[in-house]
Amino acid sequence: MAENISRRQMLGLTAATVGGVTALTAGARAGTAEQPGRYRPAAGSPRTENERPYWEESYSGGPIQVEPLPPGRPGKDYKPVVVPTGYTLPFKIVNGVKVFHVIAEEVDHAFDSGLRAKCWAYNGYVNSTMIEAVEGERVRIYVTNRLPIATSIHWHGIYLPNGMDGVAGLTQPYIKPGETAKYEWTLRQHGTFMFHSHHDEMTQMGMGLIGMFIIHPRQPAPEYHVDRDFAIMLSEWDIPVGTARPNTLEMTDFNTLTMNGKVFPSTGPLVCKTGDKVRIRLGNLGAMDHHPIHIHGHKFRITATDGDDIPLSAQWPETTVLVAVGQTRTIEFVADAPGDWAFHCHMTHHVMNQMGHEFPNMVGVKPGDLDERVRPLLPGYMTMGQTGMDMGRMAEVMPMPANSIPMKGAVGPFGDYISMGGMFTIIKVRDRLASYDKDPGWYQHPRGTVALKASAADLARDGIDVHAPTPSAADGTANGSAPRGGSQGEPGQTRMPGHAH
Ligand SMILES: [Cu+2]
């Protein structure tokens, strides 16, 4: 029957249907007015704030070709961002255009003093090369390919002409080995962005071809001024012990988690003066994992993404920010608490290094000389959670395979080992600082402000019986569920005599 309907009939049918719907709608409206009890959907409120429309155009609403503004100068038009352990790409100005030269090549990269691997880098810095520019200026970026394979660079989050977007094969031909490509456009936005290879991404980004692209606002709001402005790129690697190159085929079990291409303690501290306004720009171009980055001793606001600044009314306080793969997140806070504050990924396996995961769980097992007997077969093997020695310390004193960091951390200010590696660094906040560029050493705690071993006098004063039996959920005696007057007595009284007084 469908084949027999003519075009004219079809048009007529459509018109009738549309008319019908119109009639129905009108009827429903009238009905609603007559019957006050009927559900009436609320009218949507216009989503504007400070005259900023909801439907915003990405490309600043303007044409691709705009008159560029003069190039911005560091220290004059913007305060340079600090890339811990990284590198800010130099530029020159040619006829009002800011010219950069990016070189992709293989390097011998140190993740830490204990681990090196052949990686791919932009301008010699794995994961930590930063391009810094100012809104409105024109950039010309030459990309020289010294890799054995074709590449391209995508400018992640940045508005540009389609042909500058850097997707190899889609928006441009490959940059073949030995070739130099030229990208050029005018920056139409500000914020924290990234750049990375967009050809065989799994291999090339996995080998290290990622970087930060920061564009300062041309007319910054007063709040844009900060005392410290840091950029940290997050990534993850699989570097099997005994190998010279990252295994970019790994999909789940990454063993080297990095900030700007380094693992703790090589990540380098973020040095601040007490009261400093601090911005940290986080980017994640790792392969598979999102990283919840956590700050100690402070709260922060999430103030921007690679989409745009977040309006003040939409920011919320946090202590952990999830930085998903392919995202940037900018956080801002007042560093008003002096001390050495951990700043790290909260995924526990992401503050570890090259430990293997193929071992049975030995917590609770008496290992005897198991470690010594197994180690000839499995170099670096150690039973976890057994000896009084933590894993990090063991990594320091036990013979480990060459060029490996099974669990490397650092000896801390108390002589004990900081058993954190990987995606971990320290925000060092000090009342007095000789220089932002010098590690001020460990924090000197004011007297009485460190959690030390409790004294006998303390225990006696507060009625703490360290030999008291602990409540047991298993036999139902905890949380007041114990039989009153039974042989075990009232948990509250037995455990905390102090409460009875
Ligand atoms: Cu993580």
130 CA → ligand 1 middle, Å: 22
Choose the weakest-confidence range: 33-37, 101-105, 162-166, 168-172: 33-37
The number of residues in the chain equals: 501
Q: 109: CA distance to ligand 1 center in Å?
A: 21
CA of 324 to the centre of ligand 1 (A): 9
Secondary structure, 3-state, 331-390: EEEEECCCEEEEEEECCHHHHCCCCCCCCCCCCCCCCCCHHHHHCCCCCCCCCCCCCCCC
Task: Tell me: pLDDT of 255 over 60.
Answer: yes
**pLDDT number for residue 384:** 60
CA of 290 to the centre of ligand 1 (A): 6
Ligand 1 center–CA 165 separation, angstroms:
28
Q: How close is the Cα of 467 to the center of ligand 1, in Å?
A: 39
Ligand 1 center to residue 286 CA distance, Å?
10
262-296 tens-digit pLDDT = 999 999 999 999 999 999 999 999 999 999 999 99
- pLDDT the model gives residue 38: 83
Which residue shows structure tokens 């305060």? Answer: 79
Query: What's the CA-to-centroid distance between 267 and ligand 1, angstroms?
Result: 15
> What span, in angstroms and rounded, lies between the C-alpha atoms of 382 and 389?
11
Mean pLDDT, all residues of the chain? 85
Q: For residue 323, what are the β-bridge partners?
A: 291
Question: Residues near 245 by Cβ (< 8 Å), separated by ≥ 6?
Answer: 117, 118, 119, 207, 239
CA 288 to ligand 1 centroid distance, Å: 10
Percent of the chain with pLDDT over 90: 64
Range list of β-strands (E), 419-474: 424-430
Residues 59, 405: Cα–Cα separation, whole Å? 46
pLDDT at 377 (0 to 100) = 75
Q: How far is the CA of 291 from the centre of ligand 1 (A)?
A: 4
> What is the structure's pLDDT at 12?
41
Q: Is 21 a residue whose pLDDT tops 50?
A: no
pLDDT score recorded for residue 415: 92
Q: Print burial letters for 265-294: b (CB count within 10 Å at least 16), e (below 16).
A: bbbbbbbbbeebbbbbbbbbbbbebbbbbe
Residue 400: predicted pLDDT:
74
**Highest-confidence segment of 40-54, 131-145, 360-374:** 131-145
Q: What share of the chain is helix, strand, coil (3-state, %, to 5)?
A: 15, 30, 55
Q: What is the pLDDT of residues 205-230, one digit of tens each?
A: 999 999 999 999 999 999 999 999 99
* Residue 492 Cα to ligand 1 middle (Å): 40
Pairing of β 317-318 and β 256-259: unpaired
d(CA 394, ligand 1 centre) in Å = 24
From the centroid of its chain, how far is CA 32? 52
Model pLDDT for residues 43-80, shown as the tens digit of each residue: 777 767 677 777 888 775 456 667 899 999 999 999 99
Ligand 1 centroid distance, CA of 103 (Å) = 29
pLDDT in tens, 457-488: 999 999 999 999 988 776 665 555 544 444 44
Q: How far is the CA of 350 from the centre of ligand 1 (A)?
A: 5
Give 422-432 pLDDT, tens digit per residue: 999 999 999 99
Ligand 1 centre to CA of 346 (Å) is: 6
Contact 88, 216 (CB under 8 A): no
Q: Is 207 left (phi over 0), alpha (psi -120 to 50) or beta?
A: alpha
pTM above 0.85, yes or no: no
CB-CB contact of 173 with 126 (8 Å) = no
- How far away, in angstroms, is 367 Cα from ligand 1 center? 31
* Phi, psi of 101, deg, nearest 5: -130, 110
Using the mean position of ligand 1's atoms as its centre, give its distance from the Cα of residue 359 in Å: 22
Q: Give the distance (Å) from ligand 1 centre to CA of residue 30.
A: 57
- Identity at 92, one-letter amino acid code: K
Dist. CA 317 → ligand 1 center (Å): 20
When pLDDT is cut at 50, 70 and 90, the band that residue 442 belongs to is very high
Query: Separation of 253 CA from ligand 1 center, angstroms?
Result: 12
* pLDDT over threshold 50, residue 28: no
Q: What is the pLDDT of residue 479?
A: 59
Amino acid at 432: R
